[in-house]
Amino acid sequence: MGSRASSLLREEDIEEIKKETGFSHSQITRLYSRFHSLDKGENGALSREDFQRIPELAINPLGDRIINAFFPEGEDQVNFRGFMRTLAHFRPVEDNEKNKDGATGEPLNSRTNKLLFAFRLYDLDRDDKISRDELLQVLRMMVGVNISDEQLGSIADRTIQEADTNGDMCISFNEFTKAHGKRVMLQTWQCNVTKLK
């Protein structure tokens, strides 16, 4: 299957994807093979259902949010290039000039683009801020029924209080970036969850 799938990918496409994402030739052909095996409709695109068949995503508490990250707003399928662009965010951070993102002008796997990717996992309504409700949804997914709603609310409130610098009771991307730099959100969650156990 791998050789058949890689033969469908043109060499010039591989070179363009290499430049855009920073993946090697062999990584691209291996990922194309995986993409092709997931493409149950055999139409050169993946649906959300195709992603849901991936066991690691099916058991991940944030699986649905990760899956949503592969799909541009309003789209219900992703082609191979879009698939690769999203995967590039998971590559280690490099300080090279390769794999530039048109939106930020930075490599897809830059610290800023990784933070933007993480921010979008929380910002489900895509209004460019993380609300208390969105934060609560993520917390519930991560801890399940091990913590009461009241305790989760307290963690969300403290996290927003520490990260929200403009007083709008939400976390903007700029605030998210600053909080991540200080590790405020992570430390708050860890500290408060540990106290509650």
Single out the residue in 122, 137, 156 at which a domain terminates. Answer: 122
The pTM score is: 0.71
Single out the residue in 95, 122, 149 at which a domain terminates. Answer: 122
Displacement of CA 65 from its chain's centroid (Å):
7
Same domain, 90 and 132: no
Single out the residue in 79, 98, 122 at which a domain terminates. Answer: 122
Structural domains of the chain, count: 2
Per-residue pLDDT of the chain (197 residues), as tens digits, is 444 444 478 999 999 999 989 999 999 999 999 999 999 888 899 999 999 999 998 888 888 888 988 998 788 999 999 999 999 988 887 544 444 554 556 788 888 888 888 888 888 888 999 999 999 988 888 887 778 889 999 989 998 998 999 999 999 999 998 887 765 455 444 544 444 44
Same domain, 152 and 118: no
Same domain, 117 and 138: no
One DSSP character per residue, 55-116 reads: HHHHH-TTHHHHHHHTS-TT-S-EEHHHHHHHHHTTSPP--SS-SB-TTTSSBTTSHHHHHH
Cβ atoms of residues 85 and 108 within 8 Å = yes
Same domain, 89 and 18: yes
Q: Which residues pair with 129 in a beta bridge?
A: 172
State which residues form the domain around 192: 128-197
Same domain, 108 and 152: no
- In Å, what is the CA distance from 132 to each residue of 31, 97, 117, 167, 172? 37, 37, 19, 13, 12
CATH code, domain carrying 93: 1.10.238.10
Other CB atoms within a 10 A radius of the CB of residue 27 amount to 16
Same domain, 100 and 196: no
Cβ atoms of residues 30 and 24 within 8 Å = no
Q: Count H helices, E strands: the chain?
A: 12, 4
Q: What is the CA radius of gyration of the chain?
A: 19
Nearest by Cα to 68 from 18, 121, 2, 133: 121
Same domain, 59 and 136: no
